[in-house]
Structure 1
Amino acid sequence: MVTSDQSIVRLKHNIMEEVCKLAWNGELDAEHKEAVCYEIIPGPRPTYRCCVYKEREIVRQRVILSCAENLPTNPDSKNVVQVIQPACDDCSIASYSVTDNCRFCLGKACLNSCKFGAITPGERRMHIDPTKCKECGMCAKECPYQAIVHLERPCKKACPVGAISYDEYGHCVIDDEKCISCGHCIHSCPFGAIGSKTYLVHIIKAILEGKKVIAMCAPATEGQFGEDISMAAVKAACKKVGFTDMIEVGLGGDMTAAYESAEWFEAKEEGRKMTTSCCPAFINMLRKHFPDQFRDNMSSTVSPMCAISRFVKATMGEDTVTVFVGPCIAKKSEAQDETVPGNADYVITFGELRALMRSKGVEFEPVEEDYQESSTFGKHFASSGGVAKAVIECMQERGQNTDDIKLMQCAGGAECKKALMLLKSGKLDVDFIEGMICEGGCVGGPSKHRAEREIVKARTTLIGKADGRKILANLENYPMDKFSMYRDGHME
């Protein structure tokens, strides 16, 4: 997939691959880590920054993230999303800037409209002092030549909750109290200055120690690698890498739909509105920005990832290591949520899985055998509207009337925020909100492997081959009484 950050992604994945090789060989010491910096950036001329020294420092900090450690500028942070400061220095500090369209006119509408003394005449055009500018936008509005532009930095523009600001040097700063770990800032930054912690080293260590390590592949997996790579092919590749086995999290979608539908139906009877519990970034938005609605309106049912992790630990042993694989950065924060026991031990993205595979010389290959654990409804959890459809399907399978149910399907940070503001103000005229921070749902996640249109096309082909099993009938094949489907871990 050709993306605006393709070169950055390639660099990041090369670094992860080299770190994985060190981990497999038991060479993850300071000397070998430093050697990676010189292998990636041999010099003597720089490749993409001002000098090889800065480039090597950026690689050093990416190696730190690849070991799931905090960067030196954030030693105490619990956030999985962190800023690589040496890479963050080429964006304009000013939000409003005067262009060459400025005619240096006599009217000076920009100067007269500024109440903060931020605008002064320069030699050839007007000048805006960024230290005095309050970003009110009046100068841009009043300029008759439209010579003043609003330059919103891409990381800040991508953040749906206003968690990004800048220090006095122009470095990006993430407010951990506001950040929902959606990861949208990571791929929006054209300098690769924002990254997330990667847990591949921990996974390799568990495999080398002989532990049972289970890969749990998200419903969004189907279609990510083309229509020839089925879930059976992904399972085969995971086993070649060293995973004990692989299970599709679409089964967890069936589990979540079954329990969430019962919860929704009860809430509908009581006149309560509810939100879904699958998207971790949406849950983080609720928890941090709408705490009352988090307490009163969020479903208490666990996400499909947590459901499968608890299922695996209940059937294979509590010491089993569970690893979620998907397109989501926020899932990494969900795995760290201590209020939800039994969740995935580690979370990796599709790109991180590919780096792990390359470190062992493994590639995806088509296979003949079939593999299906979930219904097609569970598989469609990855798409916007898929969760709601599965929940309604469960109600209908129980014979419950769903004709008068009103749903709101929100895909994208802006839509989710708007829906929650309506819910908070008491103006929401629907019964349930399906919230997904990524546009299009999980298939449009920040760490998707291909362009969304390619993924959707391949998914249609692959899911079209699945059988039409019902959700509740499918769950009769699994020991649902052996583990909890509620966030706090209580059993019914």
Structure 2
Amino acid sequence: MVTNDVSMNRFKHNIMEQVCRLEWEGKNDPEHIEELILKIIPGPKPSYRCCIYKEREIVRQRIRLAMAKSPSYNPDSTNIVQVIDPACDECPIAAYSVTDNCRFCMGKACLNSCKFGAITPGDTHMHIDPAKCKECGMCANACPYSAIVHLERPCKKACPVGAITYDEYGYCKIDEEKCIQCGHCIHSCPFAAIGSKTFLVDIIKEIKAGKEVIAMCAPATEGQFGEDISMASIKVGLQKLGFADMVEVGLGGDMTAAYEAEEWSEAYNSGRKMTTSCCPAFINMLKKHFPEQYRDNMSTTVSPMCAISRYLKATRPGCVTVFIGPCIAKKSEAQDKSVPGNADYVVTYGELRALMRSKDISFEPITDEYQESSIWGKRFATSGGVANAVIECMQERGEDTSGIKLLRAAGGAECKKALTLLKVGKLPEDFIEGMVCPGGCVGGPSKHKDISEINKARETLLAKADERKVLDNLKNYPMDKFSMHRDGH
């Protein structure tokens, strides 16, 4: 898939793969790590940056992220998303800049429109002093030649909650009090200067220790690796890798839909509006930016990931649960210990492929069939999928849903707008389905292919699923053995 950091993706995934190989071989120590750095950046000439020393420092910090550590200059940070400072040094500091289209005209509308004295005449065109510029945009609007452009950094542009700023040297800084860990900034950066902590080393240690490590594959997984790679294919591949088993989290979608349906019914009958609780970035947005709505309007039902993790921990005591999906924010959900029984680790598709390459394993088409989820749980990954599944459960209970009004908010801007309307009491809909990624989870920041390719393969695979009902499907599972509420009670 082509992204801003497509050429660097291979580079950083190679680092993950090599770190995993060291862990499998029991050589993940400082001496072998230094050898790895020299192996990746042998020199004497640089390949990406100004010098091999900067390149080696970037590799060193990426290795720390690959081992679930924060960069060495920010060691105490608990944020999943981290900036690699040595890689963040090529973006322009000025937000507004005068281009060569400037005709140095006599009218000087830009100068006259600036109320802060930031614009002065240069030798051949006008000049903007970034120290004085307040980024109001008046000069750009006033220029008759459109010679002034707004140069918004891609990482800042991608952030839906304004969590990214810059220090006096132009280095990107993440406000961890605002960051919702969605990870959209990661792939927006053309210098691959932002990354996330990776838990592959920890997972390898658990497998090598002989623990029962169970993979939980997100509903978005079907279609990520092509129409020939079914969930059964993925299950076999993961077992070759060392996982004891795999369960599809679409089953957790069934569980969440059934319990959210009960909450929705109660809320609808009492006139209270409610939001879904599946997307962790949406939950982080609620928690950090709309705390009253988080307290009063959010569903208390756990996410499908947490539901499957609790199910596995209740039925297979001592197991280690690993969620696999396209979501960065799921890593922050797993790290939130206020919700007991959640996944122990989270891995993205790119990280999974790096882990598989470290053992020279690949997915292969097979003829076996495997399905634990209803089609409604499988479609949790697309925008509208959660709401549709909840409505399906209400209808399966015989409830009339014709009067229910839904808002399917997909993308950070839509979610923020919906929650703002809810906050000021002007939301006309009864329920908000919030997904911070456009298109839903299948459009997550760590999707494996272009969204159109994924959806085409996905529909081919989903067409093979049977038509089991959600509530009937759940009768096959011990729902009384674990809680579906966030507090665990």
Mark yes or no: TM-score above 0.5. yes
- State the number of aligned residues: 489
Distance in 2 between the 1:250 and 1:36 partners? 39
The aligned amino acid for 1:377 is W
**Equivalent residue number for residue 425 of structure 1:** 424
Q: Secondary structure at the match of 2:294?
A: helix
Distance in 1 separating the partners of 2:106 and 2:316: 79
Deviation at 1:139, TM superposition (A): 0.8
> C-alpha separation between the residues in 1 aligned to 2:194 and 2:237?
29
1:214 maps to 214
Deviations for 1:425-461, whole angstroms, at most 9, x for unmatched residues? 1000111000000000000000000000010011101
Query: Residue 173 of structure 1: SS of its match in structure 2?
Result: strand
Q: Distance in 2 between matches of 1:35 and 1:6?
A: 26
Q: CA deviation at 1:367?
A: 1.0
* Partner deviation per Cα, 1:241-272 (whole Å, 9 max, x = no partner): 00111100000000000000000001000000
Deviation at 1:4, TM superposition (A): 3.2
Equivalences for residues 276-287 of structure 1 within 5 A: 276-287=276-287
* Structure 1 stretch displaced more, 37-46 or 76-85: 37-46
For each residue in 1:401-421, what CA deviation from the matched residue of structure 2 results, as whole angstroms up to 9, or x when unmatched?
101000000110000000000
Uncovered stretches (5+) of structure 2, i.e. residues with no partner = none
Structure 1 Cα separation of the partners of residues 217 and 105 of structure 2:
61
Deviation (angstroms), 1:73? 2.5
Distance 1:245 1:7 in 2: 34
The CA distance in 1 between the partners of 2:202 and 2:304, in whole Å, is: 23
Q: Which residue of 2 aligns with 1:371?
A: 370
Distance 2:208 2:463 in 1: 38
Report how far residue 34 of structure 1 moved. Answer: 1.3
CA apart distance, 1:123: 1.2
Alignment partner, residue 471 of structure 2: 472
Query: 1:65 maps to which residue?
Result: 65
Indicate the SS of the match to 2:75. Answer: coil
Cα displacement (A) at 1:305: 0.1
Question: What is the DSSP-based 3-state SS (H/G/I as helix, E as strand, rest coil) of the residue aligned with 1:155?
Answer: helix
Quote the offset at 1:3 in angstroms.
Answer: 3.1
Query: TM-score when scaled to structure 1?
Result: 0.99
Q: Name the counterpart of 1:88.
A: 88
Structure 2 residue 376 is matched with structure 1 residue 381: no
Deviation at 1:78, TM superposition (A): 0.9
Q: Provide the rounded CA distance (Å) in 2 between the counterparts of 1:285 and 1:402.
A: 28
Structure 2 Cα separation of the partners of residues 228 and 35 of structure 1: 39
Aligned match of 1:410:
409
Partner of residue 360, structure 2: 361
Give the letter for the 2:225 counterpart.
Answer: F
- 2:324 is paired with a residue of what secondary structure? strand
Aligned partner letter, 2:416: K
| Residue aligning to 1:11 | 11
SS at match of 1:354: helix
Give secondary structure in 2 for the equivalent of 1:381.
helix
Return the offset for 1:335.
Answer: 0.4
**Structure 1 runs (4+) greater than 6 angstroms displaced:** none
Distance 1:112 1:377 in 2: 60
AA at the equivalent of 2:47 = T
Residue by residue, what CA displacement relative to the aligned partner does 1:338-362 show, whole Å, maximum 9, x if unpaired?
A: 2111000000100000000000010
Stretch of structure 1 that moved more, 37-46 or 379-388: 37-46
> Separation in 2 of the partners of 1:216 and 1:397?
27
- Residue in 2 that maps onto 1:153: 153
Tell me the distance in 2 between the aligned counterparts of 1:462 and 1:110: 57
Distance 2:11 2:181 in 1: 22
2:354 is aligned with what amino acid? A
Distance 2:375 2:257 in 1: 12
Structure 1: 5+ residue stretches without partners: none
Offset from partner CA, 1:218-237 (integer Å, 9 cap, x none): 00000000000000000000
Q: Cα distance, 1:2 vs. partner?
A: 3.2
SS of aligned partner of 1:240:
helix
* Letter in structure 2 aligned against 1:360: K
Q: Secondary structure at the match of 2:246?
A: strand
Q: Verify: 1:169 aligned to 2:169, yes or no.
A: yes
**Aligned equivalent of 1:482:** 481
Residue correspondence of structure 1 range 126-145 to structure 2 within 5 A = 126-145=126-145
Distance 2:97 2:351 in 1: 39
Partner of 1:291: 291
CA distance in 2, matches of 1:444, 1:327: 8
Other-structure match for 2:238: 238
Query: After superposition, where does 1:241-252 map in structure 2 within 5 Å?
Result: 241-252=241-252
Confirm or deny: 8 A CA contact 2:3 2:187 kept in the other structure.
Answer: no
1:393 counterpart SS class: helix
Deviation per CA, 1:94-122: give whole Å up to 9, x if none. 00000001111122211111111111111
State the alpha-carbon separation in 1 of the partners of residues 164 and 119 from structure 2.
26
For the pair 1:323 / 2:325, whether they are aligned, the reply is no
2:116–2:132 Cα contact (<8 Å) kept: yes
**Partner in structure 1 of residue 340 of structure 2:** 341
Report the 3-state secondary structure (helix = DSSP H, G, I; strand = E; otherwise coil) of the residue aligned with 1:323. Answer: strand
Corresponding residue of 1:38 = 38
CA positional deviation for 1:207? 0.3
The alpha-carbon deviation at position 60 of structure 1 amounts to 0.6
Q: Which residue of 2 aligns with 1:263?
A: 263
Give, as a single letter, the amino acid of the residue that structure 2 aligns with 1:483. Answer: F
Query: Residue 409 of structure 1 aligns to which amino acid in structure 2?
Result: R
Q: What letter is aligned with 2:5?
A: D
Identity of aligned residues (%): 75
> Could you tell me which amino acid in structure 1 is paired with residue 221 of structure 2?
T
Deviations 1:27-84 (A, max 9, x none): 1111111112111112111111111111111111000000000112222211000000
Query: Given the alignment of the two structures, is residue 454 of structure 1 paired with residue 464 of structure 2, yes or no?
Result: no
Which shifted more, 139-148 or 183-192? 139-148
Q: Which residue of 2 aligns with 1:351?
A: 350
Q: Secondary structure at the match of 1:165?
A: strand
Q: What SS class does the counterpart of residue 214 from structure 2 fall into?
A: strand
Give the TM-score normalised by the residue count of structure 2. 0.99
Partner of 1:56: 56
Moved more, 25-34 or 169-178: 25-34
Aligned-CA RMSD value: 0.7
> What one-letter code is carried by the residue in structure 1 that aligns with 2:151?
L
